[in-house]
Amino acid sequence: MLGGMHAWFAAFVDTWYAVVVPIIGVQATGAERLFKELGSKGFLPNAVTYNSLLYAFAREGNVERVKEIGEEMVQAGFGRDEMTSNSMIHMYGKQGQHDLAFHVYKDMKSGGRNPNAITYIVLIDSLGKASKITEAADVMSGMLDAGIKLSGLICGYAKAVMRVEVKETFNCMVRFGIKPDHLAYSILLDILLRSNETKKSMTYYTERCYVGVSNQIKVS
């Protein structure tokens, strides 16, 4: 009976870390407090709990703590997996540490692990802003080889109300000379209008109808 309860609670903890922490944005310190409390009661951490804790600190941009957790994972016998690498690339990319982000990406690919769509966009955007065009083109090629289509990505972000990601993806298309289709433009216009950015929306409406895509125009 006790063994069954222990297994049930362990499964509950895994679910909490894997689903609740990312979705509701539990603060990293709170997640770590629970992590330590559970450890003191005999619940050993696994890859799920380690990754979710790392994700929480990565979201807050705590580079040193992310590195420490990564080392703790290795010492505990858990190698860096896709979730670990995606979290680190996202953190480094958002902080403008493009060299570190690209290093993790190359390590990820050489190890046979696949970045997710958001990771690709964040990394391409970070490298592009730093004028690391060769590296950004390499990542873009990897994304296209993985079958990720930017217009479809924009549509998915829009459905999830991820407006910042929509703009980043649109800018990524423009930066690399990929002409946005009517779907991408329509979604962008809708987001700009909902955000009361009327001037920008009119600029893009005119561009779509009369001018075509200009590589000089991006969404800020």
CATH of the domain at 131: 1.25.40.10
84 and 157 inside one domain: no
Query: What domain range includes position 154?
Result: 150-220
How far is CA 123 from each of CA 36, 98, 105, 140, 143, rounded to the nearest angstrom? 32, 7, 9, 9, 11
167 and 125 inside one domain: no
Chain centroid offset of residue 47 CA? 19
Q: Are 107 and 85 in contact (CB under 8 A)?
A: yes
Q: Are 104 and 88 in contact (CB under 8 A)?
A: yes
**How many Cβ atoms from other residues are within 10 Å of residue 182's Cβ?**
9
0.75 exceeded by pTM: no
- Of 106, 123, 149, the residue that ends a domain is 149
123 and 178 inside one domain: no
| pLDDT the model gives residue 11 | 46
| pLDDT the model gives residue 105 | 92
Residue partners of 40: CB distance under 8 A and separation at least 6: none
Angle at 161 between CA 157 and CA 167, to 5 degrees: 55
Number of domains in the chain: 2
SS3 content of the chain, % helix, strand, coil (to 5): 75, 0, 25
80 and 158 inside one domain: no
pLDDT in tens, the chain (220 residues): 434 434 433 444 444 444 444 433 456 666 677 767 766 766 677 888 888 888 888 888 888 988 898 898 889 888 888 888 888 998 888 888 888 899 999 998 888 888 888 888 888 888 887 888 888 888 888 888 888 878 777 887 777 777 788 888 887 877 777 777 777 777 877 777 777 666 665 565 555 554 444 444 444 5
139 and 79 inside one domain: yes
71 and 104 inside one domain: yes
192 and 115 inside one domain: no
183 and 144 inside one domain: no
Amino acid at site 120: Y
16 and 66 inside one domain: yes
- Closest CA relative to residue 85, chosen from 61, 58, 60: 58
DSSP 210: I
Amino acid at site 87: S
- Of 149, 175, 205, the residue that ends a domain is 149
Taking the CA atoms of 56, 62, 64 and 65 in sequence, report the sign of the dihedral they define: negative
| pLDDT the model gives residue 200 | 65
176 and 67 inside one domain: no
| pLDDT the model gives residue 18 | 47
- Of 108, 128, 149, the residue that ends a domain is 149
171 and 195 inside one domain: yes
82 and 158 inside one domain: no
